[in-house]
Amino acid sequence: MGSNGELLAVLPSVGLTTIVLLAMTLLFSIIFVKAARRIAKA
């Protein structure tokens, strides 16, 4: 990651969108899996 100049350069410009999308993606993935477990009783 530290050696990836492109990634380091792009981080500040996409910051807020990335943080919100990442948080929502993780949150809903976990919520959906929890719901699926209840339905399937796994």
Partner 1 sequence: MITWYIIAALFLGVLAGYASNMMGAAWLNPIFSDTIFNLSLFALLFLMGIIFGMDRQAVSKLKETGFKILIFPFTIVLGSITGGFIGALILGTDIFAAMGVCAGCGWYTLTGPLAGQLFGLKWGAIGFTVNFLRELITIVAASPASKIDRYAPVAMGGATAMDTTLPVIVRATSQDMLITAFTSGFIITLLAPFMITAIATLAG
Give the residues lining the site for partner 1 (CB under 8 A): 1-5, 7, 10-11, 13-14, 16-18, 20-37, 39-40, 42
Closest distance of CB 23 from partner 1, Å: 8
Asked whether the beta carbons of 1 and 7 are under 8 A apart, the reply is yes
Q: Other C-beta atoms within 10 Å of 8: how many?
A: 11
Closest distance of CB 12 from partner 1, Å: 11
Cα(15)–Cα(9) distance, rounded to whole angstroms? Answer: 11
Closest distance of CB 38 from partner 1, Å: 10
